[in-house]
Structure 1
Amino acid sequence: MEDFDWKKTLKTNILSLKILGLWPKGNETYKPNSYTAYAAFCVLGLLCSHSFVQTFNIYFIMDDLEAFTSSIFVTLSCIGTVAKTYYLLQNMKTLKQLFVNITDDIFQPRNDRQIRLIQPSILFWRRFYLVFRVLCYNTTFFWSTYPILDKWTKVHRLPFLAWYPYNSKISPLYEITYIHQVVSIWYLVSASLNIDMLIAALNMFIGAQCDILCDDLKHLGGDEKEMRSNLINCVKHHRAILKFAQESNSFFNWIVLLQFFTSAISVGFTMFQLTLVVPFSGQFYSFICYGNAIIIEMFIYCWFGNEVEIKSSAIPYAAFECNWVGVSLPIQKNLVIFTLRTQRPIKLSAVNLFYLTLDTFKAILRTSWSYFTVLNQANSRSV
């Protein structure tokens, strides 16, 4: 049977990261070459510089509740993306090794039945990628154009509140700054969504491997020699899955922690901003798209993390379903030991503070609503 190409399922995601300067070619990390120089220009000249001027500006608008709330959630997203990019670059060697590991024979589907078994997970990931990309790019479009759509160009309104060491309201500095903000935010959003979907793909892969392992266990069959050999392969496969999950989790656990922290605040502040802006304006639509994109972003992490836990918890039940009746006592004992050792499901976490589950997703939404309630009450009192 021809090997299943796991990387092919992620080709759009990987290609996007390459264009952004965040994925060196092949299995290599960054080396002194033109691609590294391009990556440095993109990360420092677009991502970091845009995040800095927005973050620094917070100091000057802290006394203005409306200006503060209209800026802080975007600033937090910028800071979160800088952190994601940092951890991606810092762990590039580990990440590239993970993508080498997924081509190992032990992770390959054994037959067409197993390929059909994992296809729904891959299709689900692709659909999430499409929906999330549409929401992110719609948000970016409205962010980039709402000063024009809402006819505020007469006062030289920039898409984002930011501090600059020059007068950004005069021409041609205004036009240059406007273009820099637009290019930077497109880069920032593209980097964030593709890093998110890369992490989701790793979790999807872990869940798919649990499906393959469960299928192998259900079909251990054959004579005793074959059954013993198949059981040994299943034990090795399970250990490989655990190792892959641990290495993947060590790569993204800080990313998830920062993402959930910033997302909980951003959703609450976005809902508050929707009560202040003019309905059905360009800015209004940008907040709608942004709020939905952030919610989907959190849901993607929690959904695929939850899937890993559910699918890994099915492994001992799959072992019980095999044709173990009538086999020799040593094989039965080994099967019982394997079943006991797989009782604990695989749980992906954020620095061991909380797990990626749907319960966590609901808790974050409740926290966001609390932020919105506090802001709304504070604004009502000040009016």
Structure 2
Amino acid sequence: MKKNKTFDYSQLMAHIFKIYKILGFWRPDPDMKHKNLYHCYTAFWLSLSITFMSSQVIYMYNNRKSLKEVLAALYITLTFVSILARQLTTYKAMNELKEIIKQLNRPLFQVKCQKHYEIAEETNRNQRLLYNICLFLGVSTDIFAALFPLFSKEKVILAKAWFPYDWTKPFNYFMTYIFQNAVLIWHTFVCYSIDIFTFILLVQIGIQCDILCYTLNHLDDFYFKDGILHEISLRDKLELRKDMEKFSKAMVKNLVVCVQHHREIIKLAKDIQRIKEIGIFVLFASGALVLCTCLFQLSMVQFGSVESMMLLFFSICMLTEQFLYCWFGSDVIYKGSLILQAAYNTPWTDCNSKFRKILLQLTTQACCPLNILAGGLFIMSVPVFISVLQTSYSYLTLLHSIQ
């Protein structure tokens, strides 16, 4: 008998949790030291964020008769509102998310053989490159946003907003510049941490589906002990095959674990959906309008300027963010569908009727599509992203016709 390796899923979120704590976004544990001070730190950043958005809302109201001025502030305002909505829903459900991370390290979700370990390691290694690309796009946008006011021929600020003072005076301008850039950087990393955390959770659903599919495809490579599956040696496997009655009983135990595993995968998907659906819905509800207003602003500035680069990277960030949500949503659907196919690859022809009845239960259970709903209205998938692009293009065409 071979000894199982272990895979620490919580380590995948360790760097995200560090970012949460630095940003004041972490929900403190009851025994955390200086908890009240940390709450004040959280309230400070949240008040800056609300002040930033309020100044833009007032600016848009004061200039409501000018479509150009409203659009100049709208894309940032909507983006920050979307981030704030996802931040508040995530913060509210932080304890539940912590519990989900603990659940991922349960024996049922753990790797059970070398191939399982390779599946988990390879998938997460591939995702790290993607996460670094997201970080690069976000930081690049912040850099161009910081440089834009400095390279402008006129005295401008990063985001058009209303202030109860004359921001053109040197000291006031400096403080306004620091304020807006600090809030932008804070929102960038809050958005990055929320999105990457969600992506990691969606990837874990895919990994568990891959692990379950491999287990079903090689069900006779495992044996049941202490409530979980272990990899069996070739010698014991051949020995087990000699007694078909004993083999059937062993396969029944293995299949029962697979049925439990599948149920827990469905529960994991539903828990993630319940926690994240409002935030994801707000993202996609505002996504088309944010994209079209940002692209409209891009068409109004000189291409090659620092402002155009800021708007270009901002647009790419928004496109990448929404595409990845849809991509991972489609990945969950696809990998969930493979479980039904894998169920037919079990050695059911060599097993008794009890095995076949349990297998029928698994196939019936696997017939229901595994997906993530956003706001209970639409399934997160690539076709939804295409719809967002089409809607954005329609809005952009409308704005240009009005202009």
**TM (normalized to structure 2)?**
0.89
**Among residues 253, 277, 299, which one is paired with 1:253 in the alignment?**
277
1:18-64 deviations in Å (ceiling 9; x for gaps): 211112467989984322222222222x3222122122221112222
Cα 1:215–1:30 change in 2 (3 A) is: farther
Counterpart residue type for residue 353 of structure 1:
L
In structure 1, the residue corresponding to 2:348 is in which secondary structure? Answer: coil
Counterpart Cα distance in 1 of 2:30 and 2:128: 23
Counterpart contact for 1:29–1:92, Cα < 8 Å: no
Residue aligning to 1:182: 181
Residue aligning to 1:65: 67
Counterpart Cα distance in 2 of 1:141 and 1:182: 9
Residue aligning to 1:7: 10
Cα 1:224–1:241 change in 2 (3 A) is: same
Structure with bigger gyration radius: 2
Confirm or deny that 1:137 pairs with 2:139.
yes
Counterpart Cα distance in 2 of 1:230 and 1:96: 29
Question: Number of aligned pairs?
Answer: 375
Residue aligning to 1:50: 52
In structure 2, the residue corresponding to 1:187 is in which secondary structure? Answer: helix
**Among residues 64, 80, 92, which one is paired with 2:94 in the alignment?**
92
Counterpart contact for 1:257–1:350, Cα < 8 Å: yes
Residue aligning to 2:82: 80
Deviation at 1:131, TM superposition (A): 1.1
| Higher mean displacement: 325-334 or 5-14 | 5-14
Counterpart Cα distance in 2 of 1:287 and 1:311: 36
| Gaps in structure 1 of 5+ consecutive residues | none
Residue aligning to 1:331: 355
Counterpart Cα distance in 2 of 1:74 and 1:124: 31
Confirm or deny that 1:101 pairs with 2:103.
yes
Identity score, percent: 27
Counterpart residue type for residue 144 of structure 2:
F
Residue aligning to 1:377: 401
Cα 1:28–1:77 change in 2 (3 A) is: farther
Counterpart contact for 2:158–2:177, Cα < 8 Å: yes
Deviation at 1:151, TM superposition (A): 3.2
Q: How does 1:145-184 map to 2 (within 5 A)?
A: 145-152=147-154, 155=155, 157-184=156-183
| Gaps in structure 2 of 5+ consecutive residues | 221-239, 241-246
| Higher mean displacement: 11-20 or 253-262 | 11-20
Residue aligning to 2:244: none
Confirm or deny that 1:18 pairs with 2:21.
yes
Residue aligning to 1:205: 204
| Higher mean displacement: 243-252 or 165-174 | 165-174
Deviation at 1:267, TM superposition (A): 1.1
Cα 1:30–1:106 change in 2 (3 A) is: farther
Residue aligning to 1:219: 218
Counterpart Cα distance in 2 of 1:349 and 1:314: 20
Cα 1:25–1:125 change in 2 (3 A) is: farther
Residue aligning to 1:265: 289
1:124-172 deviations in Å (ceiling 9; x for gaps): 32222111111111111111220112233xx3x2111111222222232
Counterpart contact for 1:218–1:322, Cα < 8 Å: yes
Counterpart contact for 1:206–1:308, Cα < 8 Å: yes
Deviation at 1:180, TM superposition (A): 0.7
Counterpart Cα distance in 2 of 1:114 and 1:132: 27
Residue aligning to 2:193: 194
Counterpart residue type for residue 274 of structure 1:
L
Counterpart Cα distance in 2 of 1:184 and 1:370: 31
* Cα root mean square deviation, aligned: 1.8
Confirm or deny that 1:126 pairs with 2:125.
no
Counterpart contact for 1:24–1:30, Cα < 8 Å: no
| Higher mean displacement: 252-261 or 123-132 | 123-132
Counterpart contact for 1:27–1:96, Cα < 8 Å: no
Counterpart Cα distance in 2 of 1:291 and 1:163: 24
**Among residues 110, 113, 135, which one is paired with 1:111 in the alignment?**
113
Cα 1:124–1:25 change in 2 (3 A) is: farther
Counterpart Cα distance in 1 of 2:361 and 2:30: 38
